[in-house]
Amino acid sequence: MSERQLAFVFDLNKCLGCQTCTISCKTLWTDQPGMEYMWWNIVNTMPGRGTPRDRDEMGGGFDAEGRARAGVLPSAKDFGEAWDFNYEEVFYEGKGQSAYLHPRNPSADGKDEAPEWGPNWDEDQGAGEYPNSYYFYLPTICMHCTEPACLAACPRTAISKREEDGIVLIDEDRCDGYRFCMEACPYKRIYFNPDRFISQKCVMCFARLEEGVAPACVRQCPGRVRHFGYLDDEENDVFKLVKTWKVAIPLHPEFGTEPNVYYVPPLAPPRFDENGEIDEENPRIPMEYLRSLFGPAVDQALATLKLEMEKTRQGGKSELMDILIAYKWQNMFIPFVEDPGELSRPAPKS
């Protein structure tokens, strides 16, 4: 546990699955050789298998007694390899309209085979039968856990948690590429760079934070989904949503690592019953499913959200709804409100 902790709240009721967060991270951090398949930030459709494939069944984290749990080391296929596209054929071989751009399976040794899997492969598939089908989007990053299983697993003490803000970082000079951290992370948010033979993951844009700028995924989110700040700052959205209103809760609390990304769980329309009538008693997304993701706290979180929504429907005021609506965008990540475009920058290295 660190002296202070920076934390995120992702409002799943506002996430549109546009992956702008994903791309902002990709362009900033993972555009170098060996990082092609990396998505430190990823948004998955749920219910779904996640990225990497079936990540919730891959173990890691700690059991109820706080003992380490064995985990699986995912393959690049599980994460989804970086696809190759037939640009040459489409743009330079004079085939006109007869050739179309399509991805190729990178493991097919140059053969023109369709990929079998990729990140967020099961996009918008969801679950349930019409008219009660449902899905929602779940963005995940390194959770910068209070009890990081990756840190505990590393035999080289290459992973540290910063006292001043709780950011979990891998020291690339100490890392020898053993990948125990990847096995031990229950959220499977650590990647391996085969070119540099080191493990890599979200760094919470620490270099931006040190200049007063919010993380790229937070600042770039067009849906105003991401609240960010110190977990002990009582004036901050994160504190109010997590501690005061208790509507933001961790994903898989049973993994035992005390993650510092919190989620406002998804509300859903009511079901239709067999007669096609609206069944207000039963939510479209089964509560059992939500409990399997967010634990028992999800019931109270959703009840609070419904109550406060009802209050505003009746013409009343709700501090909670005002926070979640995020009228003023910059208020979502106080005190990291600097505009990166207005900062002076050091000259690029030659």
Shortest CB 293 distance to another protein, Å? 24
In total, the chain counts a number of residues equal to 350
Residue with tokens 């919010």: 214
Encoded tokens for 303: 């009840």
192 touches another protein (CB under 8 A): yes
Among 155, 296, 341, 348, binds another protein (CB under 8 A): 155
Among 23, 76, 297, 337, binds another protein (CB under 8 A): 76
For residue 211, the tally of other CB atoms under 10 A from its CB is 13
Shortest CB 77 distance to another protein, Å? 7
> What's the CA dihedral at 233, 29, 11, 121 to 10 degrees?
-160
- Contact of 254 with 66, CB cutoff 8 Å: no
Shortest CB 138 distance to another protein, Å? 23
CA 193 to chain centre: 20
**Measured from the CB atom, is 3 or 254 closer to another protein?**
254
Task: Work out the widest C-alpha separation in the chain, in whole angstroms.
Answer: 70
Burial class (CB in 10 A: 0-12, 13-18, 19+), 270: middle
Span interacting with another protein, options 146-154, 212-220, 238-246, 266-274, rule CB under 8 A: 146-154
Residue with tokens 């890392």: 175
71 touches another protein (CB under 8 A): yes
Span interacting with another protein, options 89-97, 116-124, 151-159, 209-217, rule CB under 8 A: 151-159
Among 32, 75, 125, 330, binds another protein (CB under 8 A): 75
Among 163, 176, 210, 273, binds another protein (CB under 8 A): 176
175 touches another protein (CB under 8 A): no
152 touches another protein (CB under 8 A): yes
- Contact of 60 with 71, CB cutoff 8 Å: yes
Among 18, 23, 28, 68, binds another protein (CB under 8 A): 68
CA distances from 153 to 70, 78, 257, 260, 335 (A): 10, 21, 12, 19, 33
Span interacting with another protein, options 186-194, 202-210, 217-225, 309-317, rule CB under 8 A: 186-194
Among 13, 54, 69, 223, binds another protein (CB under 8 A): 69
**Measured from the CB atom, is 161 or 284 closer to another protein?**
161
Span interacting with another protein, options 2-10, 179-187, 223-231, 291-299, rule CB under 8 A: 179-187
Among 154, 214, 301, 332, binds another protein (CB under 8 A): 154
| 131 prior amide bond cis, ω within 30 | yes
157 touches another protein (CB under 8 A): yes
156 touches another protein (CB under 8 A): yes
Residue 216's Cβ-side half-sphere holds a number of Cα atoms within 13 Å equal to 21
40 touches another protein (CB under 8 A): no
Give the helix ranges, DSSP H, for the chain.
20-29, 76-79, 87-92, 149-153, 180-184, 206-209, 216-220, 237-239, 287-294, 297-313, 319-325
Phi (first) and psi of residue 165, to 5 degrees: -150, 0
Shortest CB 155 distance to another protein, Å? 4
Shortest CB 343 distance to another protein, Å? 36
- For another protein, the binding residues (CB under 8 A) are 67-71, 73-77, 79, 149, 152-157, 176, 178-180, 183-184, 191-192, 194
